[in-house]
Amino acid sequence: MNPFTLSFGKKPNQYISRLAQTGMIIEDFTASEPSSQLYMLTGVRGSGKTVMLSTISHELRQKSDWIVVELNPTRDLLTSLAAKLYAIDELHTLFIKARFDFSAFGLGVAFENTPPVTDIETVLELMLKKLREHNKRLLVTIDEVTANDHIKVFASSFQIFIRQDLPLFLLMTGLFENISEIQDDRALTFLYRAPKINLAPLNLNAITASYQNILHVPSKVARKMALTTRGYPFAYQVLGYLWYQQKPQTIEQLLPEFDQYLQELVYQKIWQELSSKDQDVLATIAKSGRSRIKDIREALGFSSSLMSVYRERLKQKGLVDTRDYGYLSLTLPRFENFIELYHELR
């Protein structure tokens, strides 16, 4: 069986660890005085958000004092959370012992002489207080958030729980534009300050070593393959997958198929989600590779301030590399080939 995978959203067999970013979040969540109880992971499609989210949940799940619950962002989050907590045997027993009456939400039974709790926020507050009493911490994960009402309601309750010092932790992932739309909501001020982690490319040395070990290619070839992926996680899987399948003489033989997978599974979608001005900027960069900001701006007739808006936005979306002062280049591997074709078709 091919050790590499083309599928999204689950932890691959060949996994390159993100020691720095993953370690930082886990350390903070498990600290006695966490500096943040909320982290948001952003990055382009295929950058490994879902995989990182599952890695962190998996690690915390191993710890006896942690409870991890995954919520679906398209549903009523407070009610789902209460139901999921209630369904955990260990907690269920605690709640019954405390004679909590959550029957108004279809959870468990009513007790004689105890008034039912009729507000969902109160239900969760009681549950979280119980967790605190038993020195437990709760991690809630939400993958692929968009700025819908469920998220807003949940975030505003979260804010209240945190203020009461309840042991609730939240890890969300989303595309940059969705995360920033949620953050910009004025009612949710604490989100504004919440740390956003932009997924970095995978370590190129680790990719090289992995290709060498699994595919038994010479180190020079493995290095060249790693550079071809530019550290983009999906590209790492695709290139490994194709090499394993075809055992070619050179990388070049694989490139047409490599491009096709990237285009069909991610680039088309990324491209369609961009505004036409964003597309113009990318097309200008694609033409000359590493481009001077000044040249791009002149080619498009942008003012300096307009140019810096686009520069910042494309950087945040994970599409443009700005580390080289005064220059812009594309972050995704071989994206320029795709852009040239599609920009002309527009």
- Beta carbon of residue 151, minimum distance to Mg ion (angstroms, whole number): 16
CB 66 within 8 A of CB 100: no
Count the residues of the shown chain that bind Mg ion, applying the rule CB under 5 A.
2
Name the region of 223 (left: φ>0; alpha: ψ -120 to 50; beta: rest): alpha
Shortest spacing between CB 27 and ligand ATP, in angstroms: 18
CB closer to Mg ion, 49 vs 313: 49
User: What's the CA angle centered on 345, arms 342 and 346, to 5 degrees?
Assistant: 90
* Listed ranges 46-54, 86-94, 157-165, 201-209: which one lies at the site for Mg ion (CB under 5 A): 46-54
In the complex, least distance from residue 9 CB atom to ligand ATP, rounded to whole angstroms: 4
Who contacts 87 (Cβ-Cβ below 8 Å, separation ≥6)? none
- Rounded to whole angstroms, the Cα distance separating 202 from 231 reads 5
Asked if residues 282 and 339 have their Cβ atoms less than 8 Å apart, the reply is yes
Instruction: Quote the DSSP letter at residue 202.
Output: P
Nearer to ligand ATP, 157 or 173 (CB): 173
**Contact residues for ligand ATP (CB under 6 A)?**
5, 8-9, 12, 14-16, 18, 43, 45-51, 144, 202, 233-234, 236-237
Residue 228 CB, shortest distance to Mg ion, in Å, is 23
Taking the C-alpha atoms of residue 117 and residue 100, their distance in angstroms, rounded to an integer, is: 8
User: Does 55 interact with Mg ion (rule: CB under 5 A)?
Assistant: no
Return the number of the residue (155 or 199) whose C-beta is nearest Mg ion. Answer: 199
Nearest-CB residue for ligand ATP = 48
Residues numbered 98 to 127 that lie near Mg ion (CB under 5 A) are: none
Instruction: Between 18 and 150, name the residue whose CB sits nearer to ligand ATP.
Output: 18
Q: How many CB atoms lie within 10 A of CB 93?
A: 10
Q: How many helices (H) and strands (E) does the chain have?
A: 17, 8
Of 94 and 145, CB closest to ligand ATP: 145
* Residue selected from 14, 37, 47, 50 as contacting Mg ion according to rule CB under 5 A: 50
Q: Which of 53, 140, 127, 52 is nearest to 92 (CA)?
A: 127
